[in-house]
Amino acid sequence: MLGRWLSALVAGDLPEPREGAAAVELAAVRKVFVTGAGEFEALKGVDLQVAHGEFAAVVGKSGSGKSTLINMITGIDRPTEGEVWVAGTPVHTLTENQIAVWRGRTVGVVFQFFQLLPALTALENVMLPMDFCGVYDPLERPERALRLLDMVGVGDQAGKLPSNLSGGQQQRVAIARSLANDPPLLVADEPTGNLDSRTAEQVIDLFCELARGGKTILMVTHDNDIARRGSRIVTVAEGRILSGEQAERERI
């Protein structure tokens, strides 16, 4: 019911996506936080383009600005200045209601600690975004959720609660959930940080497969070996995106 209400609230109100746009495009983005000690500039005129189907790893030290960068792209926060475009939509211009619906349809998010609802089965967790956004017919949702669980290799765990799943299985369920509404962009925040090395490799293999299938992947990671599995590394330091030798030195 909530999903239908939100969809009705903004039906036809989202701007038409710009044709030929990159999957992600930031132009001169600044983010300034006002604190008790004064202003803190977390992003300093960032320009970034990520192509459709690209698997970009975002790396940087704590406090570098990478989390703020991801928050701009997912619409969790707004830039102080500049423009943020995702899949041709000007995210920086959307209202709060529009952002809620846009995010549910456009961005899938995978967290380090899975964030599965403990009282729901794996199948029900994957169905939840569909229930919220109303993209798929209610009768289609269980079958679609099961297909996604099968795709990530845990279809046989569909009826289990998260507490009865291993860490790797929970992360696979979380990835299936992020794909529930078939979003063009997946954002993964340290998705392997809570996994053993073998399971982490399997999760990255899955991201590579999704990118080959046309999904755009943005993955935040502290692990340089994991980052190198992507098709591109975006290095963030002191609120700026580095390139060339500067980026290499920052990752050492």
The range of the structural domain enclosing residue 46 comes to: 2-251
pLDDT at 166 exceeding the cut of 60: yes
pLDDT at 245 exceeding the cut of 80: no
Identify the band that residue 16 occupies on the pLDDT scale cut at 50, 70 and 90.
Answer: confident
Between CA 247 and CA 6 the distance in angstroms is: 42
Counting the structural domains of the chain, the total is 1
Claim: this prediction has a pTM higher than 0.85: no
DSSP 106-139: HEEEE-TT----TTS-HHHHHHHHHHHH--S-TT
Identify the band that residue 246 occupies on the pLDDT scale cut at 50, 70 and 90.
Answer: low
**How many residues does this entry show for the chain?**
252
User: Which pLDDT score, from 0 to 100, does residue 114 have?
Assistant: 85
Domain CATH code at residue 82? 3.40.50.300
